[in-house]
A and B are shown apart, each in its own frame.
Chain A
């Protein structure tokens, strides 16, 4: 029994110390927040509960025993009512309503009257008796009112939280889940050890076990409040584990072992354990700090990335304005809207027109990338036929192909292909990029052929050209941002290497596949992409 007493005493001291540390830690993390202040009150009340309950067992003066018992019960009441107000303000303040006003007042009135009955008159605790090891209170007529009130306030706490749980943002939900885990452990162990067992078995010998659960409650809650700050719950748990095991090993060595040689061995074991325990906690601490700094770095990078995308988006819009003026004037000049055009001038205007078109595509692509990367691209797939989109892309690029002396053909199959599940605007974008690519890398007199190849689950669209081909080694890098095939740079210096990257991103969005095959340099290449069929 001595052994158990010692463990119990150590546990009580540890729990009280640790809880107070948590309370102060949370309070100091941000003493201006109501939640943090209420948490400190909660901690003091819970520590008072555990400490005074223990004190009443080891005291000898009768009056002191009675008073520490009463104060312990007062602490229980304050613990419950402060937890209630915690539930009002955590993780965000409950919206003001008639229900909330009634619930707040109910909690205050119940707790206030219980405190009055506890200290004035013989209603709640009127004396105590010894069970041999501990002292149990003798209750007055309001014993069940006490139980009822505590259960009632607990229900109000749970109602507050569950009402809030469904309306708060996701990150607050995680915070709340931590708190609720601790609360469930606390309520469950107190229901069992402080209410069910006393009623069923008629004694409160195990009530300390209920009290111990406050450490979980306070630990989880503290973590929930100060999450993302200082250190994480893993350090608390690792420290707790090492501490508890060290105490047990210590007791085993000092109390349970009489034989000196065995004692020495156990001391050595304890020393080794402490050594490794220290390094365990330290390494967990280091890892958590490392992760924290990584998280910060990641958040900074993300911020930077968003700023970059935003900049590109604004810049692209600004770039388009002069581009549209060039496009418009050149197009009108070519059509004779500004007077007759000599053949030489017509040639120069054609070059001007094509260069401007390339710039328009480039700006559009940059804007697309910024939208894809910032997650602002709207993807609205539906059942659609791909043929009309291919026709429109070919119509759009025909003048360009004609100027370059390239034959651009769409070989339609006799039977129309099944509908695909895709976003028409994005499919158009994919086709423009791939066909434009084909034209760009094919010499005068060559061919670019678009065709459809139905497969089992996907509809494959192929864009086959008779152009410069692809060196097999460069294929894996081809769909990466700013990448161009080895021969590409020699033939065209105005590509930015964005088109295929966008194609890949857009096809991925459709959960399709994209690829290229080529028999080698100078032998042409076939780019293809597959889109899923519309199965609805």
Chain B
């Protein structure tokens, strides 16, 4: 779960933990890339506007690395311009969710459907 807004990070962490997931937290892009060096998450929920590295840059690096390019990435952001969506999907994101339009329940639902669990 890559999210620079602490309150949201805590919230999603609680929701996913309650649903039986193990959540790895990162507050910026750099931390996220550090974590994937040692752990291999089943899915990455990635915010876009963040300090250090932004979501697009993280996505680019994940996709260009053979070790991480198979990890599905869902962009979870408050940007929703068509250009942002197109850019994210072109970079290889599996889905694009606008935080303000989805409840945590629905986000969990999407992840479960993607992982078929």
Contacts and interface: CB of A to CB of B under 8 A. Distances in A.
Given A325-B7, A325-B11, A376-B81, A331 B99 contact: no
A498 B11 CA distance: 32
A323 interface: yes
A332 B81 contact: no
B78 A337 contact: no
Interface of B: 5, 7-8, 11-12, 14-15, 18, 49, 78-83, 98-101, 103-105
Chain A interface helix/strand/loop/mixed: helix
B81 A331 contact: no
A329 B81 contact: no
Interface in A360-389: 360, 363-364, 367, 371, 376-378
B14 A363 contact: no
A320 B81 contact: no
B55 to A, nearest CB: 13
A469 to B, nearest CB: 31
A328 interface: yes
Interface residues of A, number: 22
B105 A323 contact: no
19 contacts: A317-B78, A317-B79, A320-B78, A321-B99, A323-B100, A324-B8, A324-B100, A328-B8, A328-B99, A329-B7, A331-B104, A332-B11, A332-B14, A332-B104, A332-B105, A335-B105, A360-B101, A371-B81, A377-B82
Contacts of A360: 100-101
Contacts of B5: 321, 325
A372 to B, nearest CB: 13
B80 A367 contact: yes
Given A328-B11, A332-B104, A363-B100, 18 more contacts: A317-B49, A317-B79, A320-B100, A324-B8, A324-B99, A328-B15, A328-B103, A328-B104, A331-B104, A331-B105, A332-B14, A332-B105, A337-B15, A364-B101, A367-B80, A371-B81, A377-B82, A378-B82
A331 B101 CA distance: 12
Contact of A325 (B8, B14, B81): B8
Contacts of B79: 317
